[in-house]
Amino acid sequence: MSRDKSYAAVMARKNEIMKKALGVDYEEYELSDIAFDYDSLMEDVHLTMEDIRRIQREVSVGDTPLVELKNLTALARKFSESGKGARIFIKDEAGNPSGSFKDRRASLSVYKAKELGYKGVVTATSGNYGAAVASQAAKLGLKCIVVQECYDSEGIGQPEILEKRRKCEALGAEVISLTVGPELFYTFLSILEETGYFNASLYSSFGIRGVESLGYEIAEEVKEKYGKFPEAVLVTHAGGGNLTGTARGLRQAGAEETKVIGVSVDLKGLHMASDVDFNKKSFTTGHTGFGIPFATFPDRSDVPRSAARPLRYMDEYYLVKQGEVFYMTEALAQLEGLERGPAGNTSLTAAFAMARTMKDTDILVVQETEYTGAGKHPLAQLSFARERGVEVYFGNADEEVPGKNIILPKSPEDIRLRPVDLENLKRSLLKNIVADKKIERVTELDLFYLMEEVRASYDFVKLELQLLGVNVVL
């Protein structure tokens, strides 16, 4: 079969390729121009929490330690008013087979691929998910191809992504390393078409449901040991799957009041498709370059309808600075004896600041850690940054300009909470939905769908739509 493999031709076949590679007919869930049946999409995974945990236990995923960070809590209390300083716990997801919570996502995706009879899996990711998929593929006897964005036009690889390449190769996967650019999607589609493998997407319903066990375990263990659910769980937010899955799991365990808080590294000012900016950042995931776009338009993912829909679940959203996260990575290692990768400490950083504002009887859980090693380490990243002309120094982290400097806080009490206005993000999501499909009128069904999408009131959504010039037909 000799098909036109050019960019335009392959992109034109996108829907056909995706349908064959996903095992889900997304069209079935569409309800109108705007709305789709999210609940059914998730229910149709047809797995209970017991099933998910059983599948995961089969492959040694999950049941990770919940560690109380007594020294970091004591440190936070030194800078808190009396009666304040919540207990900080961390869920040591680095204990999973490939070293991150992504194993939970991959375990279900690859399980699904095997169940449906695919011979291999493909994933487009420059992050830990690639290694997770490779690990699960190895366990289940499937082939694996990872497509990643690793180099700039001068052939310089981001150290963290070079380590991902190594890790995936170590687990037996084929790794296609590209230079910067969204056209990675074209390569990804071409590989799917050529191989007929399964798209183990980060954004599939099975992938997101795989993360639910993480939220469920946290709720269950805290309730069992301390007699209550945690007051808050902090989740690093990029594409939204981490937050969505964790929130859903918490709710399923009965933790209805637990606040679900998203945290991202602030990389505003850097362009994610820039050949120049690419190697000027020290975090390749868990940052605003993904966090904001995916919150305000989840369906930009590689599947027609993303199962990761963060604004449905996020109670609060905070930003932290690169320097602050490197600082907390050192603190975790030197005060708690846990050497973990910096990207996995994004929410820990916000937790440290947040604990100081909460009661000392409150429980705050940082929902993940990731493995560390060559490339995935403060030494590797700060060295790389310095070599590229990014200044590294102690100072006021508020003055950090991504790509120009990395400012380490002088004292732990300087680590601050920087809230993001969720209402503004909700407005952006509504605006993007209207613009994407050129919506001129909405029905009541659409309105109720949008109320769920942004978790806002009827009046809020109706007003925003009217401001966007959309006719609300009831």
Pick one of 3, 57, 386, 404: the residue that binds other proteins (CB under 8 A).
386
Between 64 and 346, name the residue whose CB sits nearer to other proteins.
346
Q: In whole angstroms, how close is the CB of 195 to other proteins at the nearest point?
A: 7
CB of 76 to other proteins, least distance (A): 11
Amino acid in the structure at residue 364: L
Which residues make Cβ contacts (< 8 Å) with residue 19, sequence separation at least 6?
25
The residue among 377, 397, 290, 388 whose CA lies nearest residue 333 is 377
275 binds other proteins (CB under 8 A): yes
Cβ-Cβ contacts under 8 Å for 54 (sequence gap 6 or more): none
In DSSP terms, which residues pair with 286 in a beta bridge?
Answer: none
d(CA 131, CA 144): 10
Shortest Å distance, C-beta 360 to other proteins = 15
Nearer to other proteins, 318 or 327 (CB): 327
Q: Which is nearer to other proteins, 273 or 435 (CB)?
A: 273
The residues pairing with 147 across neighbouring beta strands, listed in sequence order, are 124, 176
User: Is residue 252 within the footprint of other proteins (CB under 8 A)?
Assistant: no
Task: Find the shortest distance in angstroms from Cβ 115 to other proteins.
Answer: 20
What is d(CA 426, CA 461) in angstroms, rounded to the nearest whole number?
A: 9
Q: Which stretch binds other proteins (CB under 8 A): 222-230, 240-248, 293-301, 390-398?
A: 390-398
Neighbours of 158 (CB within 10 A): 26
Name which of 324, 354, 349 is nearest 259 in CA terms.
354
Side chain identity, residue 305:
R
375 touches other proteins by CB under 8 A: yes
For residues 325 and 349, give the distance between their C-alpha atoms in angstroms, rounded to a whole number.
6
Total residues at the site for other proteins (CB under 8 A)? Answer: 63
| 151-210 residues near other proteins, rule: CB under 8 A | 151, 153, 157, 159, 162-163, 166, 169, 172-183, 186-187, 194-195
Residue 265: closest CA among 291, 244, 239, 245:
291
> By CB under 8 A, what part of segment 305-344 binds other proteins?
326-327, 330-331, 333-335
Q: Which long-range contacts (CB under 8 A, 24 or more apart) does 469-474 make?
A: 469/440, 470/434, 470/439, 470/440, 470/441, 470/442, 471/440, 471/441, 471/442, 472/441, 472/442, 472/447, 473/441, 473/442, 473/443, 474/443, 474/444, 474/447
Residue numbers 406-465 binding other proteins by CB under 8 A: 408, 412
Neighbours of 336 (CB within 10 A): 18
Cβ-based nearer residue to other proteins, 299 or 315: 299
Stretch that binds other proteins, among 31-39, 243-251, 259-267, 369-377 (CB under 8 A): 369-377
Among 377, 426, 427, 462, binds other proteins (CB under 8 A): 377
Contacts to other proteins from residues 279-308, by CB under 8 A: none
User: Cα(183)–Cα(33) distance, rounded to whole angstroms?
Assistant: 27
Whichever of 393 and 448 has its CB closer to other proteins, that residue is 393
Site string for other proteins, 70-99 (x = CB under 8 A): -x--xx--x---------------------
Pick out residues in 3-42 that bind other proteins (CB under 8 A). 7
Which residue ranges make up the site for other proteins (CB under 8 A)?
Answer: 7, 71, 74-75, 78, 120, 143-145, 150-151, 153, 157, 159, 162-163, 166, 169, 172-183, 186-187, 194-195, 271, 273-276, 326-327, 330-331, 333-335, 374-375, 377-384, 386-387, 392-394, 408, 412
